[in-house]
Amino acid sequence: MAAEGGGKETNEIKTQFTTREGVYKLLTHSEYSRPNRVPFNSQGSNPVKVSFVNVNDQSGNGDRICFNVGRELYFYIYKGVRKAADLSKPVDKRIYKGTQPTCHDFNPLTATAESVSLLVGFSAGQVQLIDPIKKETSKLFNEERLIDKSRVTCVRWVPGSESLFLVAHSSGSMYLYNVENTCGTTAPHYQLLKQGDNFAVHTCKSKSARNPLLRWTVGEGALNEFAFSPDGKFLACASQDGFLRVFGFDAAELHGTMKSYFGGLLCVCWSPDGRYIVAGGEDDLVTVWSFLDCRVIARGHGHKSWVSVVAFDHCTTSVEDGELPAEFSGSDEDFHEQIHFGAGRERANSSHSRLSKRNSTESRPVSVTYRFGSVGQDTQLCLWDLTEDILFPHLPLSRTRTHTNVMSATSPTATGQTVTTVSITSTTNSNVTNGKDNVSDSSASGNPTNALPDPLPRSNSLPQATNTAGGSTPNSHTGSSCSSSSSKGNSIIDSAFIATKFATLSLHDSRKERNEKDHKRNHSMGHISSKSSDKLNQLSSSRTVKAEAAKTLGTTLCPRMEEVPLLEPLVCKKIAHERLTVLIFLEDCLVTACQEGFICTWARPGKVGLLSSQNNPANSPSGTVV
């Protein structure tokens, strides 16, 4: 499970690790870095970041990689597991003076073998649009820093658009740009378009089209990262104030919120079907949040320092039912192409109903597993499995089950034991076998938002204290973590957004925002340990920051540690000498990078060497694509 104990573990760098699907191996010949391969002196520099794009090259070698190291930006043909990296021949190399690249993003829609559109954000606030194949610079946005003078923390093309992109800054603001518009010679003037709980959206007042089209101000402190949902409809923002905020992007509506255990949130990602969000940050935890239920469903503890990147592995995420769903087959580009046209959205609506139908009609368990990974400043890579005993612990329950605390639960092992749960006001008891549920009442399983996850059964989790306290529980849907009810959460996904962005938005606050009135902001509280978590409510009111944090602990915004399942990593390995800053899952490998400027390729099981050696399905665990 975790890294081996003893003194070796802290100093020895791992070059391979084993999961249920086989052995992942570090390919030393596929390491990318600066051409001289000298470790970069990373003190005072921005994190190394990596971006990929596929240019659909007919030769079958269409992957391209971009990475920044200090003041330098490199663009290579990425050969992955196929051939050794040739660092002597970068397609493009740029060295910047007076500012450093901080992040970048390719537009997959416009990428060809002759041209790619690459956005690069900088430490002084500018954003550059370049074409590293044609070796030309198209445009420079915020050149005079009239829009924002702070560091660019995240830049992304708007999904499905060839011209719109979103930029986040350490000021806590996000700006929507159009590549066709200029930024003007004067500072922009803004008009309020939408305002909610600790966020506001302004439009730029101008007689002629200019950038930015919109300005979002979100939370307090830096906006560290944002991520679009697979269908492009929603936007998840991780902020230094410790809050995850999820917005409907077109309508600028707050869908739900979550608070870190303490400290800022640094990274965020979506599951391939858009049902779950994982965030990591300064509490050393990875937190899994349900998009439909607007609540924390699990936390993972394996890192010893801040978590810098989280990412889902769409190739290992699986639903076992004979055939793999289309969303999880094919190449990386095929997957993105599907979700841009709504496949991810359809899955978010119908996945649970399909599961319920299979369970109730065939009387056999369906295995659901989401694989995600995380890397941190502790130089460790962790892999996690989110399994159906965490996701659907309520499937065997009667539909008359009410939102109440679970009084008792046995602690099952991975296989072969029975869990009995008792509800305070439940009218029925249910037996669960092996954590994979045989459902006799299809309507009970078909209502995921109206049942309470009762036990904490799981195959890769730590022992839990039984929750015997009365009153409200974070597993109930009452509280302020979601701006809409569960049923309304579904309607948000189902609703069709306006065709013209932001054209007909109302200025008044939505009714859904009323439930957010108790949602307070606070600064990082890194000094609070898990042992002192239950004493937060006793902190002196003279410090409002601590007092506000105490209000969120134990609510749906931030459940206590014993109130949600605690995952244990499948893999926890030290893989670098410097802090890790990149984790990307590709079809044949996963890619990591550290602050020394080394980008490492880890071949998936059976993918070492030439790609002609295909996997034997018989060697793969059921329901897992390797």
SS3 assignment, position 491: helix
DSSP secondary structure string for all residues of 563-595 = GS-EE--SEEEE--SS-EEEEEE-SSEEEEEET
Distance CA 275, CA 290 (A): 6
Q: 108-123: per-residue pLDDT in tens?
A: 999 999 999 999 999 9
The answer, yes or no, to whether residue 85 has pLDDT greater than 50, is yes
State pLDDT tens for residues 10-37.
568 999 999 999 999 999 999 999 998 8
> Residue 547: what pLDDT?
59
- At 109 the pLDDT is 95
Per residue in 458-485, pLDDT tens? Answer: 334 444 433 333 333 333 343 444 554 3
What is the arithmetic mean of pLDDT over 572-600? 96
Characterize 440-479 residue by residue with b for buried, 16 or more Cβ atoms within 10 angstroms of its Cβ, and e for exposed: ebbebbbbbbbbbbbbbbbbbbeebeebeeeeebbbebeb
Q: Which of 260, 381, 225 is nearest to 313 (CA)?
A: 381
**Both tokens of residue 562?**
């014993």
Enter the DSSP assignment of 482: B
Q: Which two tokens stand for residue 608?
A: 């070492």
- The pLDDT value recorded for residue 146 is 97
pLDDT of residue 609: 64
pLDDT at position 608 is 81
More confident residue, 625 or 59: 59
CA separation for the pair 518, 486 (Å, rounded): 19
Provide the pLDDT for residue 482.
58
pLDDT value of position 392 = 83
Burial of 298 (0-12, 13-18, 19+ CB in 10 A): buried
Tell me what pLDDT residue 320 has: 61
State mean pLDDT over 590-599. 96
Asked if residue 448 has pLDDT above 80, the reply is: no
pLDDT band at 292 (very low <50, low <70, confident <90, very high): very high
Task: DSSP letter for 523, please.
Answer: -
Q: Report how far apart the first and last C-alpha atoms of the chain are (Å, whole number).
A: 19
Average pLDDT over residues 496-518: 36
Strands (E), 187-329: 189-196, 199-205, 214-218, 223-228, 234-239, 243-248, 253-259, 265-270, 276-281, 285-290, 295-301, 307-312, 318-319
Q: 295-301 and 566-567: which strand pairing?
A: parallel
275 three-state secondary structure: coil
Q: What's the average model confidence in pLDDT over 39-53?
A: 87
pLDDT in tens, 366-422: 578 999 999 999 999 999 999 988 988 765 543 333 332 333 333 333 333 333 333
Structural tokens at position 302: 């394996």
Q: Quote the pLDDT of residue 393.
A: 76
What pLDDT is recorded for position 515?
A: 41
Q: Identify the pLDDT of residue 458.
A: 39
* pLDDT, mean of residues 445-464: 40
The candidate with the shortest Cα–Cα distance to 523, out of 542, 504, 505, 544, is 544
Angle between helices 343-362 and 332-340 (to 10 degrees): 100
The answer to whether the beta carbons of residues 590 and 24 sit under 8 Å apart is yes
Tell me the mean pLDDT in the region 49-78: 92
pLDDT in tens, 143-197: 999 999 999 999 999 999 999 999 999 999 999 999 999 999 999 999 999 999 9
Dump strand ranges (E) for 380-458: 380-387, 406-409, 418-423, 430-433
Percentage of residues in the chain having pLDDT higher than 70:
62
Mean pLDDT of the chain: 74
Beta strands in 12-144 (DSSP E): 16-19, 22-32, 50-54, 63-69, 72-77, 92-95, 101-106, 118-122, 127-131, 136-141
Residue 10: the pLDDT is 52
Q: How many CA atoms lie within 13 A of 148 on its CB side?
A: 29
State the pLDDT at residue 446. Answer: 39
pLDDT of residue 366: 58
Confidence of residue 355 (pLDDT cuts 50, 70, 90): very low
Our measurement of the distance from residue 221's CA atom to the centroid of its chain's CA atoms, rounded to an integer in Å, reads 20
pLDDT digits (tens, 9 = 90+) for 531-549: 343 333 333 333 444 556 6
